[in-house]
Structure 1
């Protein structure tokens, strides 16, 4: 049984400290968080969801507790039996190694982009993928409870994996240890210590490693001004980025770019000689 689409919500913006409530009798709403972080509340339960996570439910409230805008998009479907139980806890679908969620996100972005009309074939494909996700044929859609983020015993705390993935996807944002800890509802000290034990690097040093690698790529492969490169990897000022880069590699970003350009020019000269 495939979901029957009724409404497309191409883009909704939830302002800082704003909220929105969705309550349906015979419908379910499927929302993708495309920017920011939101608190989901239902009955006496609550949990945080972040960018590239889906929330599926029929009685939920979304709140933006940050000072930045949050964005969501998605669909409203007729409840045809997949989600009949009224008052059922919402489903949180997170990206995983199967890439099923990533494929669905890509399909939604293509369908809803301004350059592409959202045709009926694309919509049916999306509805089919969502049906698979909800029924659990492609990924496990664990129902969320108030104890969802209790640390695991004997295994890796799954919050650490979420943070690792979040850093890789959001390194261009102004992340801090405190903000990362808030995402998974734990203390900064716990996050730093347990993350370091599992990955042999602290979350903030891992963030710096990702940013440095991306900066080196942009310096060598593009002609972007250094200030733009700094902004694109999450640094608010050129001086802050330059200090970080020099501390890491011993040279400034400008010197690094010039040195490699000279090496490349010399290699081309010798090849053509």
Structure 2
């Protein structure tokens, strides 16, 4: 039986809020190394991969972040032409150390390719004959709280809110990211973190707003936009509910307190 052969090696960028889809093709696999967090979807399952390795026949990558994500790829011609029962595998780095070296070489020798192809062949056999995938999330099973463990998707959303509070976010957008019902997300998130996802988002934004009003000369409009609000009035209304005064009054008060503090010193 012929060994797996490397067809091409490349680097690509997945733009913010864009996706990449690898359609199934007999005898072809793709190994990807991602430099930042992406969501991987395949066969009604999903997983968040952060600086990880993906080997598969058919899958979709989604970049939900506000920055482009670089991926390194190797297209493989495999001697196994049938479709795997589970067509994706997340190998550990030590399993593909010879393959990853190809991404960092300016000149690739035939011996390096031969070593990598031997390692690829073993991975292909593992994927196609003994499929295994850990930490898989079934997006069809929204109500997931098994064995008393926290649904990992809630942790992902908690982190996502912290990292993307500057974008316009709604409960539906957050629910769509992890493929669940908005009501389930709200109830489960609140139960685990003792605060609803939208209240958590507001808390982060208001804390950042306070810092920007005190420490910068940004206009109210600029601050509102930087925090993901669609209008000044929306931002000001939320701020007043949180701090019991408008952003303008808050900044004026902060300047007075700062001046008094400097005089006291």
Query: Which TM-score bucket, shorter chain as reference?
Result: 0.5 to 0.7
Deviation string, structure 1 residues 60-81 (Cα, Å, up to 9, x no partner): 24377x9x999553011376xx
Q: 1:176 to 1:50 in 2, by over 3 A?
A: farther
Which residue number corresponds to residue 152 of structure 1?
145
Q: 1:179 to 1:12 in 2, by over 3 A?
A: closer
Distance 2:104 2:221 in 1: 40
Distance 1:51 1:171 in 2: 21
Distance 2:230 2:210 in 1: 18
Which residue number corresponds to residue 263 of structure 1?
257
Q: 1:151 to 1:48 in 2, by over 3 A?
A: same
Distance 1:183 1:256 in 2: 35
Deviation string, structure 1 residues 207-250 (Cα, Å, up to 9, x no partner): 10011111111111211111111111110111110110011101
Distance 2:16 2:58 in 1: 15
Which residue number corresponds to residue 186 of structure 2?
192
Runs of at least 5 residues in structure 2 that lack an aligned partner in the other structure: 1-5, 77-81, 94-102, 107-122, 124-132
Distance 1:237 1:204 in 2: 18
Which residue number corresponds to residue 168 of structure 1?
162
Structure 1 segments, 4+ long, off by >4 Å, are: 13-16, 22-27, 48-55, 68-72, 118-121, 143-150
Q: TM-score if structure 1 supplies the norm length?
A: 0.63
Q: 1:92 to 1:216 in 2, by over 3 A?
A: farther
**2:50 aligned with 1:29, yes or no?**
no
Distance 1:22 1:70 in 2: 25
Distance 1:240 1:149 in 2: 32
Report the alpha carbon displacement of residue 159 of structure 1 after superposing the two structures with TM.
1.6
Distance 1:141 1:12 in 2: 25
Aligned 8 A contact 1:50 1:183 in 2:
no
Candidates 56, 59, 79, aligned match of 1:58: 56
Which of the two has higher C-alpha Rg? 2
Map 1:40-189 → 2, pairs under 5 A: 40-41=41-42, 45-48=43-46, 56-62=54-60, 72-77=69-74, 87=84, 88-91=86-89, 142=135, 151-153=144-146, 154-189=148-183
Which residue number corresponds to residue 11 of structure 1?
13
Runs of at least 5 residues in structure 1 that lack an aligned partner in the other structure: 80-84, 94-99, 101-117, 122-133, 135-139
Distance 1:146 1:50 in 2: 12
Q: TM-score if structure 2 supplies the norm length?
A: 0.65
User: How many residue pairs end up in the alignment?
Assistant: 221
RMSD: 4.5
**2:239 aligned with 1:238, yes or no?**
no
